[in-house]
C-alpha cells in the first residue's frame, strides 16, 4: 500500500521534478555560455600557434565551497573553448564521457552529486551548434549506472568546441570540521592556452590555503556579505611537453590550494592539515606549524609489552638485547619492525591476498619506531621534510607534501636515518625523494636529547655510494655469430632498488628472515587440513614468480645489449643487499646475438656495447630550458674481459678510449690487450649530482653523448 | 537460548562440511595430467555439452532457439576464481545460469550483467552476463549450466567445439523438429565425429558433433578470425512449415539478400539534404571518375568512423542525412551516405554486403554470420568500383587487404549481383628505397628517395595525418631514421601527404656513422641501414600470422668507392624463396660504385603456421646475411 502511494506521489510530482531539473540545466547553461567579455567571444588563434594540434582559447575553473544547513556543497565548473586544428585534435574531442550522478563515502561522511554538461561547436563561419545531450548512450551496466558517453556530431578541423562540466557534490556533515580534497596543478596543459582563469568562491568562515609556484599569479580578492571571491588569471601559456628528469611542480607555473571548514575556531584543532585564519588566504606554513605538527605526531604512548616482545624475539635468535650498542639496538629494531610489517606478511598476501597487506606506509612505520625507541629510552629526532617533487619547506602548503623520517645520533656527531620506503630496506639510505631537502628535526625521547627543534638539511648521497659494477667475461661462440657472457653485477645504495625489485622473489629472502626470528612459515601456521591446499598455492606462486623472473631477465639482457633474441642461460643472486648488506649482487650467464659482423675473413665486434647500452638523447632534447632533477648522484663501473678467439688479433682499440670529466659527471674508458691475450675494456660513468641547473645540460650532454658513442664503437677481430 | 543456538550451529556444520567441494584423487590426477598437456591454462573442461532445441512462436511467427549448456570444469590451479561470461544482445537472452559442485549442490553465484563494448565500437547492444566460479584447489570440479534463448532463429549463427580453455570432451547436439529446415556447415573439423539420427516417435532429427581433446583457442595478435581456426558448425536456417505457416529462411543467398534489403529499405534517406554538398564537391569535376573521387574522398576525410551495433541496427544503415549532419557513422552509414551522394548526382551507386577476411564463410552458406561489413559500389563502365569509406586513405580503385577477394552482394533491385572484390598483387603495395651514397669522414652520406604505393602508402598517410601536426616533422624523421641515433636524416621533402592518388615520394639527406668502420688501410662497409625482418621470428606462436597487407619492399643502394680505395671483398648474394615469402639480396660493383639490391615479398600477406620453421630458417639466414660487410682496401 505504502509503495502504491509512493508511486502515485512520484507519478504526480515527476513532471515537477523533471521540470526543476531542466530549469537547473538551462540556468547553468545560460550562466556558463552567457559569460560576457571579449575573452569569452574569442575565436582567434594566435599566428604563433597555427601549427599546434589544438589551442585553448580560454579555460575556466570555478570552484565553490558553501555550507547549506547540515551539508557542505562543493561545486566545480570546468569550461573550456578549444580550437581544433588537425585530425588528431578532432578525434581527441569527438567523444566524451561523464557520470550524471555519483555518491559514496569518504572519511565516514556520505556524499552525493550530479554532473551537468554542455557541448557546443562553433564553426569557422561563426555559426554555433549545441549538441543534443539526449544522444548520449550508457557506458556499461544496464541499470543503476549513470555513466554515459556522447559522440560529438559535425566536428571538423577548423571548428572550435566549447564545453563545460559542472559537478556539484553535497557532503552531509558528520563532524564539526571538514577538509576538502586539495588541488595541486600546473596552469598549462598539453595544448597552448591563450587564457586560463581559476575562481574560488568560498564562504567567509572557511579556511583557504593557496600558493602560486614558479611564476603562477597571485589571487585577486573581493567579497560580499557572505562570500569571498578569489581569481587568478594567466595568459599566453605554452604547452607542457614531457621532458625527462623534470619535476613539473618545480619547473612550470603551478598552484596548490585547499579549502577547510570548521564549525568554529575551537574546531581548528581537529585539522590535521596546515591552515590560516577563516576567510584569509594562507600561503605559508610557519616553522611553528611544522613543529606543532611534529609534536602532535609524537604524542603517542606505547605499552611496555611491545618492547618485551621484541627483546624476547632477539633472545630466541640468540641475541642478548642488553649487550647491544645503541646503534645495534636500533638496527635490530628496524629490522624487526620491517620484518613484522612487510616481509612476514608478504607470502600470505601474495597467496591470493590472505592476511594483511604489507605496510610500507612511512608515517606509520616511523611512528611505530618512535614508540619502541621511547620504550627503549633512546632519543632521536622526528624529521619532517618535503618531497623533492613538490619543492622545499619554503614551498610547503599541503599535508601530502610532507615526508616523515627518523634520525638517531648513534655516536656523537654521527646520525643514522630510518624509513620504510622500500620492499628491500637498507639501513644507511634516505629516500631519494628527500635527499638534500631542508627539514625540521623534532626531538623525542628522554635520553641524551638536547630537546630543541632544529632546522637541518638532509644529507645527500654521493655517486660513490650509489654505485653499480659490472664485471663481465665474454667470448665468441663457435659460430662466430653470437657471444657468450658471464657477468656479475653489483649494485649499491640507491642503484639497488630497481634491480632488487625485478630480480628477486620473496623466496630468495623469506626463509632466512623466518629463521632469524624463529617463526614458522605460513604453511606451518595453517591447520593440517589446509596444508595440502596451501602447498598447491605456494607451488603455483613459485612457478609464477619464476616465470615472471625469466621473462624479466630476458628483457634485461635484450635491453642491456640492445639486441633481440638474447638468452639467459643461468642466473643466480649472490648477495641480497638487504639491511646491513651493502651489495645486491647477482650473476647472469647469457648468449648475445647481433654484436658480431662478418668482414671477409675477419669479424667486426661491437665492443662498446659489451659494457651495456647507454642513454640516448634525441636530437630535439639537446636543448633544454628546465632544470634537471634526477633521483640521485650515481656511478657505473664496468670491466669486460673479452677472450680473443684463437688465431685472431684485435685492432682498433684506440677507438675505445674516451675521457670526459666535468663538474656534472663524466665518462672515462680504456681498452688494452692483457698479457694473457685477453682484451680488457674498462669504463666509468658518473653523475656528480642529483640536481643540475638547466644551463649545465650541455655539460651533461658531453659525457652522455660520449658514453653513447662508445657503445657504437666496433673493433676488428682480425685473422692473425 | 544461547546454548541452543550453539548446538544448532554445531549440527549445521556437519552437512556443510560434508558438502564441501573437495576433489577426489581421480580428479586431482586428471587435473595434473591436463596441466602437463596445457601448462599455461588455469581451468579445463572435462565434458562440454550443448543441447540446442527449436520452437515456433506462433504469436510472432518466428522460430525460437533454446541453447542449454552443461559443462564440467576442472581447476588446474589452486585458489582460482575463474570468470565465465555469456554474451547476449537484444535478439537473445541468458535466461538462467547455475553452477553446481560435483556433489550436485548449487553454488551461490554473483551474476553481473552489463553492457559490453568491444574495442573500436562506440556503442552496441551486446551485453554480457559474467560470474566467478571458485576452484579452491587443483582438481576441484564445477558444473556450469546456462540456458540461453534466441527470439529469432536467424540470429543463431554458430556453435564452437573449442573455448579459450581446453576441452577433454566437447559435444554439440541439435534436435531439429520435422517442421524445421536447417543445414549445418562444418569448419575446421579435422578430428570431429558427426552423427545424425532420427527419433521415430517425433520425427525430430538429432545432429551430434563431437570431439575429444580440443585445444584451447590461441590468444595471439595478428591472427585470423576464429572461424578460420577452430572447429565449429555454422548453422543454416532454411525455413519452416508448421500449422499452415511457412518461411523460406535463408535457403539461398537471395533469401539473405531479401532480408538485408528489407532492413536497408525505408530508412528514411532524405537525399535532398546531401545533394547540395555533392554538387558543391563535384562542381569542377569533368569526368565521372573525378566525381566519384570527390565524393569518396570527402566521406573518407570528413565522416568519422564511430561504430554503432544496436540490435537489428547492426544490419540497418543509419540514414544519409543523419550521417551527413553528425559527420560520424559506422560502415553502413558511411556506405549509405556515399551511395546517396553519388546517386544524387545521377550516378548508379549501390549498397554492398560483405564479410571481411576475418570470416571463413561465403554465400554458399547463407547466414547472418557471412557478413560483417558494408561498402558502396558505383557503376563504372561495364563494372563497378567499390568504395569503402572506413578506409581513410584508400585510393579509388584500390582495396584494403581485409576485403580483397571477398564475395559480395551488390544490391540490384529485387535480386542482387554476386561478385568479388578484386585481388591486388603485392607489387601494388611496393615500397621502394633508393640511396645514392658516398663515404665521407667515416660516414655513409648522400641522398635517399622513398616511394610508396598501395596499402604501404595508405598506412603511412593514415599515421602521418592522425598525428598532432606539430609532431609530424619529428615523427617523419624518426620513421626514416628508425630511431637510430647514429643515423641523421635531414632536408626531408615529400609529395602531398594528404593526397590519396598516385604514389608518395619522400626525399631526404641521409648520413649514417655506424655503416663505416676503418681499421688502418681497410674499410668495412655495412651497406644496408634497414635490416628489416631480421627479428621477426615465430618461436612460440601457434596460429598463422597475418600482416596488415601484402608486403613488397625494394631497396637499391649505390655507394661510390672513395678515391684511393678498392673493393676487395663483396658478400655473396642471398636468395630464399617460398610461395608465401621471399628474400633476395644482391651485391655487385658497377662503375666504381658498390650496388646493393634487396627485394622482400610476402605476396599473400600471411605466414602459415605450418611454414614457421621455414620462415624462421630464412630469417636466421637473413640476419646472418645482414651482418656481412663489404671490404675495401687502400690502393697501394
Please spell the DSSP secondary structure of A308-354, one letter per residue.
HHHHHHHHHTT--GGGS-HHHHHHHHHHHHHIIIIIHHHHHHHTTS-
Give the model's pLDDT for residue B383: 93
Q: Residue A644 is placed in which grid cell? A: 680473443
Domain for residue B377, yes or no?
A: yes
Phi, psi of B152 (to 5 degrees): -140, 125
| Residue in chain B nearest A135 by alpha carbon | B326
- Does residue A533 lie in a domain region? no
What was the pLDDT predicted at B325? Answer: 93
Torsion angle, alpha carbons of B138, B139, B143, B144, to 10:
30
For residues A599 and B570, give the distance between their C-alpha atoms in angstroms, rounded to a whole number. Answer: 9
Q: Which domain holds residue A96?
A: 42-283
A146 assigned to some structural domain: yes
Q: Which of A94, A156, A532 sits opposite B302 (nearest CB)?
A: A156
Say yes or no: A265 and A317 in one domain: no
Kindly list the distances between the CA atom of residue B102 and the CA atoms of B23, B24, B44, B249, in Å, as whole numbers in the listed order: 8, 10, 15, 42
| B199 has a pLDDT exceeding 50 | yes
Q: Which residues, numbered 608 to 667 in chain A, qualify as contacts with chain B under a Cβ-Cβ cut-off of 8 Å? A: 616-620, 651-652
Residue A492 predicted with pLDDT over 90: yes
Chain B residues in contact with A619 (beta carbon < 8 A): 488
A536 touches chain B (CB under 8 A): yes
B422 pLDDT above the threshold of 90 = yes
d(CA B93, CA B95): 6
Q: Is A7's pLDDT higher than 70?
A: no
Q: How close A174 comes to chain B (CA, Å)?
A: 33
- DSSP E strands in B459-614: the ranges are 487-494, 504-512, 516-519, 522-525, 545-546, 551-560, 565-569, 574-578, 581-590, 593-602, 606-607
Whether B117 and B40 map to the same domain: the answer is yes
In this structure, are B207 and B270 located in the same domain? no
Comparing CA positions, the residue from A401, A473, A419, A450 lying closest to residue A679 is A473
**Cell numbers linked to B415:** 535480386
Question: Among candidates B630, B578, B634, B632, which has minimal Cα distance to B601?
Answer: B578
Q: What ranges make up the beta strands (E) of B177-316? A: 180-187, 192-198, 205-214, 232-242, 245-247, 304-305, 307-309
Count of helices and strands (H, E) across chain A? 13, 36
Query: Do residue B76 and residue B155 come from a single domain?
Result: yes
Say whether residue A578 is in contact with chain B using an 8 A CB cutoff. Answer: no
A143 and A22 fall within a common domain: no
Please tell me whether residues B415 and B452 are part of one structural domain.
no
pLDDT digits (tens, 9 = 90+) for B554-613: 999 999 999 999 999 999 999 999 999 999 999 999 989 999 999 999 999 999 999 999
Mean pLDDT of chain B: 92
Sequence-separated (6 or more) residues with CB below 8 Å from residue B14 = none
Q: Do A712 and B467 touch (CB under 8 A)?
A: no
Chain A: closest CA distance from residue B310 (Å)? 11
**A226 and A352 co-located in one domain:** no
Domain of B552: which CATH number? Answer: 2.60.120.1130
> Mean of the pLDDT values across residues A116-139?
92
ipTM: 0.87
CA distance A595 to chain B (A): 9
Q: Give the list of residues 6+ apart from residue A37 with CB closer than 8 angstroms, or none.
A: none
From the list A142, A352, A712, which residue is nearest B79 (CB)?
A: A352
C-alpha–C-alpha distance, residues A609 and A713, integer Å: 8
CB A429 within 8 A of CB A494: yes
User: Residue A584 domain-assigned?
Assistant: no
Mutate to test the interface with A, among B25, B35, B78 (most CBs of A within 10 A): B78
Res. B15: pLDDT tops 50: no
The CA distance from B483 to the nearest CA of chain A, in Å, is: 9
Same domain, A19 and A119: no
List all residues of chain A from 49 to 78 with a beta carbon under 8 Å from chain B.
51-53
**pLDDT, average across residues B129-145:** 93
Average pLDDT over residues A514-539: 88
A47-56, A150-159, A304-313, B602-611: least confident range: A304-313
Question: Which chain A residues have a beta carbon less than 8 Å from that of B521?
Answer: none
CB contact under 8 A, B304 and A565: no
Q: CB of A237 within 8 A of CB of A193?
A: yes
* % of chain A beyond a pLDDT of 90: 67
Q: How confident is residue A205, by pLDDT bands cut at 50, 70 and 90?
A: confident
Query: Closest by alpha carbon to A416, among A375, A459, A373, A363?
Result: A459
Residue among B114, B136, B138 whose CB faces A142 most closely: B114
**Contact criterion met (CB < 8 Å) for B470 and A51:** yes
Eight-class DSSP state of A180: P
Chain B: give the shortest CA distance to residue A103, in Å.
20
Domain extent at residue B89: 25-247
Last residue of a domain, one of B394, B420, B446: B420
CB-count exposure of residue A225 (10 Å: 0-12, 13-18, 19+)? exposed
Does residue A241 sit at the B interface (CB-CB below 8 Å)?
no
Q: So what's the pLDDT on residue A303? A: 82
Question: Rounded to an integer, what is the distance from CA B99 to the centroid of its chain?
Answer: 33
Mean pLDDT of A454-463: 96
Which tens digit of pLDDT belongs to each residue from A571-596? Answer: 999 999 998 889 999 999 999 999 99
Q: Encode B568-591 in three state secondary structure.
A: EECCCCEEEEECCEEEEEEEEEEC
Is residue A373 domain-resident?
A: yes
Residue A8: the pLDDT is 52
Report the alpha-carbon angle A283-A285-A286, nearest 5: 125
Which of B17, B93, B115 should be substituted to probe chain A, the one whose Cβ sees the most A Cβ atoms within 10 Å? B115
Asked whether residue A339 falls in the same domain as residue A443, the answer is: yes
CA distance readout (Å), A437 to A362, A369, A383, A431, A456: 17, 22, 11, 11, 8
Q: Give the pLDDT band (50/70/90) at residue A144.
A: low
Hey, of B35, B469, B516, B571, which one would you mutate to test binding to chain A, going by the most A CBs within 10 A of its CB? B469
- Answer whether A533 sits within 8 Å of B137, measured CB to CB: yes
**What digits encode the pLDDT tens for the residues B84-114?**
999 988 889 999 999 999 888 999 889 988 7
> Do residues B367 and B300 lie in contact, with contact meaning Cβ atoms separated by under 8 Å?
no
A87/B522 CB distance under 8 A: no
Size of interface A-B (CB pairs under 8 A): 130
Q: Is the pLDDT at A177 greater than 90, yes or no?
A: no
* DSSP conformation class of B189: -
Whole-number pLDDT of residue B117: 67
Q: What is the pLDDT of residue B586?
A: 97
A51/B115 Cβ within 8 A? no
Angle separating helix axes A496-503 and A528-560, nearest 10 degrees: 130
> Residue A680: inside a domain, yes or no?
yes
* Closest CA relative to residue A526, chosen from A516, A517, A536, A513: A536
pLDDT of residue B155: 93
The whole-number average pLDDT for the span A640-662 is: 96
A600/B629 touch (CB, cutoff 8 Å), yes or no: yes
- Provide the 8-state DSSP code for A246: -
Q: What is the CATH number of the domain that holds A248?
A: 2.60.40.3140
CA–CA separation, A325 vs A411, rounded Å? 10
Tell me if A142 and B113 make a contact (CB, 8 A cut-off): yes
Closest approach of chain B CAs to the CA of A677, in angstroms? Answer: 20
Cell of B454: 598501395
Nearest to B52 by CA among B178, B150, B122: B150
Distance separating alpha carbons of residues A480 and A111, to the nearest angstrom: 69
Write down the pLDDT at residue B18: 38
Q: What is the mean pLDDT of residues B408-417?
A: 96
Residue A2: band (very low, low, confident or very high) from pLDDT cuts 50, 70, 90? very low
| Probe site for chain A from B113, B299, B470 (most A CB atoms < 10 A) | B470
In the Cβ-directed half-sphere of B572, how many Cα atoms lie within 13 Å? 4
The predicted structure's pLDDT at residue A297: 84
pLDDT of residue B394: 94
- A23 and A78 belong to one structural domain: no
Query: Cβ separation of B467 and A88 shorter than 8 Å?
Result: yes
Picking from B420, B450, B479, the residue at the C-terminal end of a domain is B420
A140, A351, A481 ranked by CB distance to B115: nearest: A140
Domain boundary, last residue among B402, B420, B438: B420
CA-based nearest residue in chain A for residue B116: A140
Q: Which chain B residues have a beta carbon less than 8 Å from that of A618?
A: 485
Amino acid at each position: 500500500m505504502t509503495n502504491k502511494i509512493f508511486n502515485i506521489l512520484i507519478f504526480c510530482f515527476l513532471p515537477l521534478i523533471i521540470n526543476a531539473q531542466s530549469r537547473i540545466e538551462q540556468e547553468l547553461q545560460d550562466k556558463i555560455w552567457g559569460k560576457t567579455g571579449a575573452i569569452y567571444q574569442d575565436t582567434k588563434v594566435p599566428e604563433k600557434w597555427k601549427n599546434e594540434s589544438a589551442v585553448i582559447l580560454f579555460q575556466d575553473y570555478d570552484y565553490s565551497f558553501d555550507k547549506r544547513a547540515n551539508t557542505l556543497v562543493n561545486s566545480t565548473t570546468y569550461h573550456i573553448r578549444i580550437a581544433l586544428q588537425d585530425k588528431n585534435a578532432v578525434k581527441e574531442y569527438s567523444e566524451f564521457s561523464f557520470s550524471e550522478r555519483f555518491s559514496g563515502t569518504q572519511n565516514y561522511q556520505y556524499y552525493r552529486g550530479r554532473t551537468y554538461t554542455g557541448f557546443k561547436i562553433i564553426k569557422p563561419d561563426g555559426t554555433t551548434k549545441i549538441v543534443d545531450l539526449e544522444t548520449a548512450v550508457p557506458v556499461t551496466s544496464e541499470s543503476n549506472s549513470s555513466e554515459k558517453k556522447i559522440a560529438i556530431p559535425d566536428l571538423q578541423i577548423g571548428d572550435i568546441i566549447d564545453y563545460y562540466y559542472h559537478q556539484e557534490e553535497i557532503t552531509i556533515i558528520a563532524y564539526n570540521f571538514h577538509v576538502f580534497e586539495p588541488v595541486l596543478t600546473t596552469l598549462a596543459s598539453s595544448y597552448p592556452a591563450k587564457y586560463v582563469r581559476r575562481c574560488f568562491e568560498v564562504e567567509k568562515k572557511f579556511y583557504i590555503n593557496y600558493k602560486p609556484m614558479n611564476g603562477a599569479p597571485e589571487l585577486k580578492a573581493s567579497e560580499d556579505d557572505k562570500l569571498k571571491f578569489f581569481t587568478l588569471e594567466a595568459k599566453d601559456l605554452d604547452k607542457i611537453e614531457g621532458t625527462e628528469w623534470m619535476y613539473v611542480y618545480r619547473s612550470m607555473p603551478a598552484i596548490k590550494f585547499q579549502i577547510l571548514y570548521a564549525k568554529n575556531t575551537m574546531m581548528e584543532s581537529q585539522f590535521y592539515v596546515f591552515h590560516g585564519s577563516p576567510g584569509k588566504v594562507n600561503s605559508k606554513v610557519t616553522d611553528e606549524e611544522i613543529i606543532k605538527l611534529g609534536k602532535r605526531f609524537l604524542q603517542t604512548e606505547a605499552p611496555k609489552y611491545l618492547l618485551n616482545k621484541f627483546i624476547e624475539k632477539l633472545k630466541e635468535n640468540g641475541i642478548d638485547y642488553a649487550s647491544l650498542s645503541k646503534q645495534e639496538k636500533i638496527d635490530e629494531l628496524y629490522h624487526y619492525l620491517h620484518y613484522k610489517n612487510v616481509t612476514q606478511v608478504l607470502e600470505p598476501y601474495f597467496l591470493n591476498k590472505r592476511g594483511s597487506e604489507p605496510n610500507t606506509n612511512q608515517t606509520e612505520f616511523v611512528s611505530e619506531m618512535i614508540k619502541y625507541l621511547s620504550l627503549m629510552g633512546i632519543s632521536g629526532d622526528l624529521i619532517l621534510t618535503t618531497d623533492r617533487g613538490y619543492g622545499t619547506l619554503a614551498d610547503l602548503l599541503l599535508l601530502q607534501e610532507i615526508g616523515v623520517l627518523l634520525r638517531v645520533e648513534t655516536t656523537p656527531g654521527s646520525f643514522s636515518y630510518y624509513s620504510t620506503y622500500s620492499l628491500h630496506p637498507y639501513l644507511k639510505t634516505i629516500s631519494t625523494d628527500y635527499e638534500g631537502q631542508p627539514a625540521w628535526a623534532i626531538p623525542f625521547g628522554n635520553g641524551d636529547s638536547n630537546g630543541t627543534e632544529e632546522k637541518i638539511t638532509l644529507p645527500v648521497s654521493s655517486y660513490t655510494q650509489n654505485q653499480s659494477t659490472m664485471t663481465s667475461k665474454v667470448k665468441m661462440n663457435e659460430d662466430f655469430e653470437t657471444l657468450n657472457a658471464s657477468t656479475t653485477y653489483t649494485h649499491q645504495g640507491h642503484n639497488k632498488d630497481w634491480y632488487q625489485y625485478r630480480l628477486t622473489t620473496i623466496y630468495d629472502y623469506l626463509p632466512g628472515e623466518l629463521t632469524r626470528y624463529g617463526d614458522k612459515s605460513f604453511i606451518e601456521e595453517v591447520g593440517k587440513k589446509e596444508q595440502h591446499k596451501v602447498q598447491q598455492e605456494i607451488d603455483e606462486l613459485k612457478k609464477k614468480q619464476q616465470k615472471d623472473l625469466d621473462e624479466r631477465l630476458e628483457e634485461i639482457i635484450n635491453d642491456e645489449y640492445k639486441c633481440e633474441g638474447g638468452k639467459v642461460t643461468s642466473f643466480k643472486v649472490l648477495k641480497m643487499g638487504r639491511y646491513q648488506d651493502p651489495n645486491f649482487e647477482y650473476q647472469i650467464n647469457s648468449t648475445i646475438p647481433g654484436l658480431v659482423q662478418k668482414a671477409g675473413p675477419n669479424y667486426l665486434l661491437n665492443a662498446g656495447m659489451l659494457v651495456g647500452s647507454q642513454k640516448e638523447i634525441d636530437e630535439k632534447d639537446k636543448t633544454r630550458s628546465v632544470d634537471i632533477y634526477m633521483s640521485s648522484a650515481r656511478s657505473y663501473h664496468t670491466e669486460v674481459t673479452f677472450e680473443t678467439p684463437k688465431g685472431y688479433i684485435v685492432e682498433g682499440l684506440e677507438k675505445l678510449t674516451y675521457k670526459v670529466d666535468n663538474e656534472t659527471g663524466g665518462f672515462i674508458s680504456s681498452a688494452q690487450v692483457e698479457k694473457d691475450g685477453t682484451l680488457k675494456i674498462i669504463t666509468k660513468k658518473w653523475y656528480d649530482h642529483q640536481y643540475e641547473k638547466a644551463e649545465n645540460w650541455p655539460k651533461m650532454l658531453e659525457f652522455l653523448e660520449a658514453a653513447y658513442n662508445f657503445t657504437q664503437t666496433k673493433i676488428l677481430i682480425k685473422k692473425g | 537460548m544461547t546454548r541452543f543456538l550453539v548446538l544448532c550451529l554445531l549440527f549445521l556444520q556437519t552437512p556443510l562440511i560434508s558438502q564441501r567441494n573437495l576433489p577426489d584423487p581421480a580428479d586431482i590426477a586428471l587435473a595434473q595430467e591436463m596441466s602437463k598437456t596445457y601448462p599455461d591454462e588455469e581451468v579445463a573442461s572435462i565434458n562440454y555439452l550443448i543441447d540446442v532445441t527449436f520452437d515456433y512462436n506462433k504469436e510472432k511467427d518466428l522460430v525460437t532457439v533454446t541453447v542449454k549448456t552443461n559443462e564440467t570444469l576442472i581447476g588446474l590451479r589452486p585458489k582460482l576464481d575463474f570468470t565465465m561470461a555469456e554474451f547476449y544482445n537484444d535478439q537473445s537472452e541468458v535466461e538462467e545460469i547455475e553452477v553446481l559442485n560435483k556433489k550436485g549442490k548449487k553454488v551461490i553465484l554473483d551474476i553481473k550483467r552489463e553492457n559490453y563494448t568491444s574495442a573500436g565500437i562506440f556503442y552496441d547492444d551486446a551485453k554480457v552476463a559474467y560470474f566467478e566460479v571458485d576452484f579452491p584447489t587443483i582438481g576441484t570440479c564445477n558444473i556450469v549450466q546456462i540456458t540461453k534463448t534466441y527470439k529469432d532463429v536467424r540470429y543463431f549463427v554458430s556453435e564452437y567445439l573449442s573455448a579459450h580453455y581446453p576441452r577433454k570432451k566437447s559435444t554439440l547436439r541439435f534436435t531439429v523438429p520435422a517442421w524445421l529446415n536447417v543445414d549445418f556447415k562444418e569448419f575446421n573439423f579435422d578430428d570431429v565425429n558427426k552423427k545424425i539420427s532420427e527419433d521415430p516417435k517425433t520425427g525430430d532429427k538429432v545432429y551430434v558433433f563431437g570431439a575429444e581433446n580440443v585445444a584451447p583457442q590461441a590468444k595471439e595478435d595478428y591472427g585470423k578470425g576464429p572461424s578460420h581456426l577452430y572447429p565449429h558448425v555454422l548453422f543454416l536456417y532454411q525455413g519452416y512449415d508448421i500449422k499452415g505457416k511457412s518461411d523460406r529462411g535463408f535457403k539461398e543467398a537471395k533469401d539473405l539478400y531479401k532480408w538485408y534489403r528489407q532492413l536497408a529499405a525505408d530508412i528514411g534517406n532524405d537525399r535532398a539534404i546531401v545533394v547540395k554538398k555533392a554538387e558543391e564537391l563535384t562542381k569542377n569535376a569533368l569526368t565521372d571518375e573525378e566525381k566519384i573521387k570527390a565524393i569518396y574522398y570527402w566521406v573518407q576525410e570528413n565522416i568519422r568512423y564511430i561504430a554503432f551495433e544496436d540490435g537489428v541496427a547492426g544490419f540497418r544503415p543509419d540514414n544519409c542525412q543523419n550521417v551527413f549532419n553528425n559527420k560520424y557513422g559506422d560502415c553502413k552509414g558511411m556506405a549509405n551516405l556515399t551511395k546517396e551522394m553519388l546517386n544524387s548526382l545521377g550516378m548508379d551507386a549501390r549498397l554492398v554486403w560483405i564479410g571481411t577476411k576475418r570470416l571463413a564463410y561465403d554465400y554458399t552458406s547463407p547466414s547472418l554470420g557471412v557478413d560483417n561489413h558494408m561498402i558502396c559500389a558505383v557503376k563504372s563502365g561495364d563494372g563497378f568500383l567499390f568504395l569503402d569509406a572506413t578506409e581513410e586513405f584508400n585510393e579509388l580503385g584500390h582495396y584494403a587487404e581485409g576485403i580483397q577477394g571477398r564475395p559480395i552482394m551488390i544490391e540490384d533491385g529485387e535480386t542482387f549481383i554476386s561478385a568479388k572484390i578484386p585481388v591486388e598483387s603485392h607489387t601494388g603495395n611496393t615500397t621502394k628505397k633508393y640511396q645514392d651514397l658516398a663515404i665521407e669522414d667515416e660516414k655513409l652520406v648522400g641522398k635517399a628517395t622513398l616511394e610508396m604505393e598501395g596499402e604501404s602508402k595508405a598506412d603511412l598517410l593514415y599515421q602521418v595525418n592522425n598525428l598532432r601536426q606539430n609532431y609530424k616533422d619529428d615523427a617523419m624523421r624518426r620513421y626514416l631514421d628508425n630511431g637510430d641515433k647514429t643515423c641523421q636524416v635531414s632536408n626531408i621533402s615529400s609529395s602531398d601527404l594528404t593526397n590519396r592518388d598516385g604514389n608518395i615520394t619522400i626525399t631526404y639527406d641521409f648520413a649514417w656513422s655506424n655503416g663505416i668502420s676503418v681499421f688502418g688501410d681497410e674499410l668495412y662497409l655495412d651497406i644496408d641501414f634497414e635490416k628489416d625482418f631480421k627479428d621477426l621470428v615465430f618461436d612460440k606462436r601457434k596460429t598463422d600470422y597475418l600482416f596488415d597487407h601484402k608486403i613488397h619492399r625494394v631497396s637499391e643502394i649505390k655507394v661510390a668507392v672513395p678515391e684511393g680505395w678498392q673493393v676487395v671483398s663483396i658478400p655473396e648474394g642471398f636468395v630464399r624463396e617460398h610461395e608465401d615469402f621471399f628474400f633476395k639480396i644482391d651485391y655487385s660493383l658497377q662503375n666504381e660504385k658498390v650496388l646493393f639490391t634487396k627485394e622482400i615479398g610476402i605476396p599473400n600477406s600471411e605466414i602459415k603456421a605450418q611454414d614457421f620453421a621455414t620462415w624462421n630458417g630464412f630469417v636466421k639466414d637473413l640476419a646472418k646475411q645482414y651482418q656481412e660487410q663489404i671490404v675495401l682496401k687502400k690502393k697501394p
